[in-house]
Homo-oligomer: A and B are copies of this chain.
Amino acid sequence: MGRVATAVDRQFDMLLEIPDDARRKLYEAMRHAAIGGGKRLRPLLVMATARLFNVDDSCALRAATAVEALHVYSLIHDDLPCMDDDELRRGKPTTHVAFGEAAAVLAGDALHAIAFELLADERTHHDPFVRAEMTACLARAAGPSGMAGGQMMDLVAEKSTFDLPTVTRLQQLKTGALIAACVEIGAILGRVNSEGRTSLRGYAHDLGLAFQIADDILDVEGDEEKAGKALHKDADAGKETFLSLMGLERAKDQAQMLVDQAKSHLKAYGAEADLLRAIAEYTIARDR
């Protein structure tokens, strides 16, 4: 896992070389947010899925970096004062704290565009069909029927009392859609057609929910220093979460059940899927 994190850092380091002009601060802000830190769960999912189908590692790494660029953009914007107003992320000041709000908005916007530039680049895959399909997949996961829609629901959640199905839907959009896109993109790189991706979709669906339940548990039980961000925010904001709706014990059981279920979707695969199985276990065992 550390190898992927290092490789993604190196990709960002090359992509975001600081130009000698008035855009300097934009690049510094992007580098601050994108390089160093983070679990790199999403790139790892792309790489681990692509390996099932013997995709060239350098192609998979470019697609993995695209997904991480999109994720980093969403973190920058979610942390803004008008959104979740966070000051700490991945153990560092958030981008708007370090570079100001305007540069933070623009750094997010620029990383958003870079994600699609990477996926559409022929160096990422020689077949334009693969490139177009990855682009469409990521765009759907990022847009109003994915991440942006989920973040809107999350803002509304502070002023509403959501029930369990609504919280589930919120999280499926806010974090589940992008996690699912990572697995889809890995399989698209492997030229698996939509039908052939069914079991991987099941894996990604269950993994995404387990990940979010674990996040809610971390928000209550976690250590802020290890997490590298402020915790206990959901309860303070009066938001319903999996934890507030299910209670701690049931939430933990549910997360473990989802991880087992995620792994059961991989039964058609042998040892080549062990990394995906390990990612599922890690999802609920992590401390950040």
Residues of A within 8 A of B (CB): 16, 21-23, 25-27, 30, 73-74, 77, 80, 82-83, 100-103, 105-106, 108-110, 112-114, 116-117, 119-122, 127-129, 131-133, 135-136, 138-140, 142-144, 146, 148-149, 151-153, 155-157, 160, 162, 166, 169-170
Residues in B neighbouring A136, C-beta threshold 8 A: 117, 120-121
Q: Which of these, B16, B113, B143, B155, contacts A102 with CB under 8 Å?
A: B155
Q: How many angstroms from the CA of A103 to the CA of B105 in the assembled complex?
A: 14
- A149 B110 Cβ-Cβ under 8 A: yes
Say yes or no: A144-B110 contact (C-beta < 8 A), given A116-B139, A135-B116: yes
- A22 B153 Cβ-Cβ under 8 A: yes
Residues in B neighbouring A30, C-beta threshold 8 A: 144
What is the copy number of this chain in the assembly? 2
Residues in B neighbouring A160, C-beta threshold 8 A: 22
Residues in B neighbouring A156, C-beta threshold 8 A: 22, 25
Q: How many angstroms from the CA of A166 to the CA of B21 in the assembled complex?
A: 9
Q: How many angstroms from the CA of A152 to the CA of B105 in the assembled complex?
A: 10
Residues in B neighbouring A103, C-beta threshold 8 A: 152, 155
Residues in B neighbouring A23, C-beta threshold 8 A: 144, 149, 152-153
Residues in B neighbouring A155, C-beta threshold 8 A: 102-103, 106
Chain B residue nearest to A173 (CB atoms) is B23
Q: How far is the CB of A165 from chain B (nearest CB, A)?
A: 11
